Amino acid sequence: MKLIVGLGNPGSKYINTRHNIGFDVVLRFADKIGGSAPTKKQYGALVGSHTVGGEKVLYALPQTFMNLSGQPIASLMGYYKCSEKDVIVVHDELALDFSTVRCKQSGGHGGHNGLRDTIKHIGNSFLRVRMGVGSPKGDQARYVLSRFNSLEQSSMDDFVNCGVEAIEHILSSGIVSAMNTFNVRTQ
């Protein structure tokens, strides 16, 4: 079983913000594969599932706000008996230019509080799909909670679809192949 987690903040106030790109990608992934929408409330997350290539795939949107994402992920892992290497976390990444998608295996939090809390609860060996949202000129907290500007909005479909492709590549070919494919790609 694989557990795919989109990081973000619950509530309509945060829809279409940079910090919620993880939610956007996981929702698009669920829609694309024809799985159940992540609407089942379980362990502090909205959860859906589907079978992909003969393997059950669970996807989740923690509802505890970004900075407390780790506990719902840990609880789902415990219930479904997933290891860290079965977890793919999709998140916003300030260190990458807007619309850049990169895959990563393990690592630190890089100042990202959602990753910091996830690492605190499950360790750092999980897989990541890093969605570049650009670097702020000022306050990072305000920046990640801001909405994408009109120029960025015009390329959001391609950006989100690229994140979905990264998840699919990890599932079908593994993280090393995904890193070799997405980490050299120019957007």
Q: Supply the residues annotated as catalytic.
A: 19
CA nearest to 126, candidates 104, 94, 96: 104
- Give the list of residues 6+ apart from residue 11 with CB closer than 8 angstroms, or none: none
Two tokens, residue 134: 């650009």
Residue 79 CB neighbours (<10 A): 11
